[in-house]
Structure 1
């Protein structure tokens, strides 16, 4: 049976000895140019740009994002809470041209446990519009919290969907740093200390499926957790992200085939 598990002292303290690398960024195509607009570097061409990006062609049948369709959902009889726990961390804001990334410099920042594997938070970033859809509905923004196992061989992403409404408090917390690197590709800025616990909401219902990274190299085997609760973001905040980097006005990978994958749904 699938088990998310409890975040325990063993997770935070027993695993510290095996975390030797401090500043790890999940491989996501940063070393090579790629884009979203129609052309030689758009999503349909990613798999042809580099040998190591062939997974982007979808040969493995487990690509992301997907549509979270009610007809494909498997409601789980036993609710397993998504127990996340994080510590304070110094962060670096990076303008990657195609998005704005918040990198967590503390290797012991925390995370969650899934099927016996400890997943540690490495970075988070935003997409517009949302990459995942719910029954054909897209949302204005999607945030990805990217985690990896201690050896960086396994990845897990927690995704949040946003609709227009009141400002998002977490985004407001780092707004001044995003504005400071606006329009400056490759620029980095020390954004001080932040507690990722600010991203945790009270309602913990979520979708779970096995997919891939949504940017090159589109590596498969990624555990996806898409939170059911839709958050709100203001139009001003969306415009701030658009102004920050050229590709953000549309940096969502198109929906991929679900094939025979089941979408598990956990809800209280």
Structure 2
């Protein structure tokens, strides 16, 4: 019994640490400086800090190249979104542009589990690959359940003639310098506006955070349908951070389920 209680306590502590990793993975002012290039780039993350060892030793890392998939069983739970307009709180983390979610407001549900939105951030080019192809930019919406276990929804962007209104509103408020943040309580945005109209089709697999400490045990939901942004919006985002992407990681036998 004591061993079972200890195991449960360790599991809960690990889940809580995972949620904390998600909150601080892009946080400015980290004592262990990492980047996306050179001697502090992805190939060297594990050598920067002992806390980053999973970036090299992990066997279920993200991002991945989605090629071969398996149809999900008909009774597979579908993800449900519950987002609403919230005040803007943006951080320029030194690695990405990140939106800090309002606690208790936005969430997704998968099966019987509810995951609260913690933050979302952007990568350019997109980190995920689809038959070796990457989108010009992607969005990662990071959620955590009550125990701290993570679920990330990934959205791919494509360039078109129509700008995205929510991204446009955020661009007006992005802090210019790394380490700066900005809160605009007068401006309400709904993260749902950064998602495609059709959210029922997606790929799902078990992976990790794509930034140090590269913690595993993360459920990934890769939405199939992309969202259109304008060329001007893409270039504006790239003006802050370009090539903030981790290379794709080996599947190591993991299964990718396709949900329709």
Normalising to structure 1: TM-score of the pair?
0.81
Does structure 1 conserve the Cα–Cα contact (< 8 Å) formed by 2:196 and 2:226? no
SS at match of 2:53: helix
Equivalent residue number for residue 63 of structure 2: 65
Q: CA deviation at 1:191?
A: 2.8
Question: Separation in 1 of the partners of 2:228 and 2:77?
Answer: 25
Q: 1:221 aligns with which of 217, 233, 244?
A: 217
Q: Distance in 2 between matches of 1:124 and 1:224?
A: 14
Whether the 8 Å CA contact 1:126–1:141 is kept in 2: the answer is yes
Does structure 1 conserve the Cα–Cα contact (< 8 Å) formed by 2:52 and 2:214? yes
Contact residue 117 and residue 149 of structure 1 kept, 8 A: yes
State whether residues 87 and 108 of structure 1, in contact with CA within 8 Å, keep that contact through their aligned partners in structure 2.
no
Aligned to 2:116: 120
Structure 1 runs (4+) deviating above 4 angstroms are none
Give the secondary structure class of the aligned counterpart of 2:87: strand
C-alpha contact (below 8 Å) 1:27/1:217 kept by paired residues: no
Contact 1:100 1:125 in 2 (8 A): yes
Matches within 5 A, 1:188-267: 188-192=181-185, 193-203=188-198, 204-244=200-240, 248-267=241-260
Residue in structure 1 matched with residue 35 of structure 2 by the alignment: 35
CA root-mean-square deviation: 1.9
* Unaligned 5+ runs, structure 1: 1-22
Report how far residue 36 of structure 1 moved. 0.7
Indicate the residue corresponding to 1:147 in structure 2: 143
Per the TM alignment, residue 111 of structure 1 is displaced from its structure 2 partner at its CA by 1.0
Alpha-carbon separation, structure 2, partners of 1:218 and 1:164: 30
Partner of 2:4: none
2:79 aligns with 82
Structure-2 separation of matches of 1:232 and 1:43: 29
TM-score (norm 2): 0.84
**Is residue 90–residue 99 contact of structure 2 (8 Å, CA) maintained in 1?**
yes
Report if aligned partners of 1:96, 1:185 keep a CA contact under 8 Å in 2: yes
2:128 counterpart (127, 132, 140): 132
CA distance in 2, matches of 1:25, 1:80: 24
Q: Aligned pairs, how many? A: 233
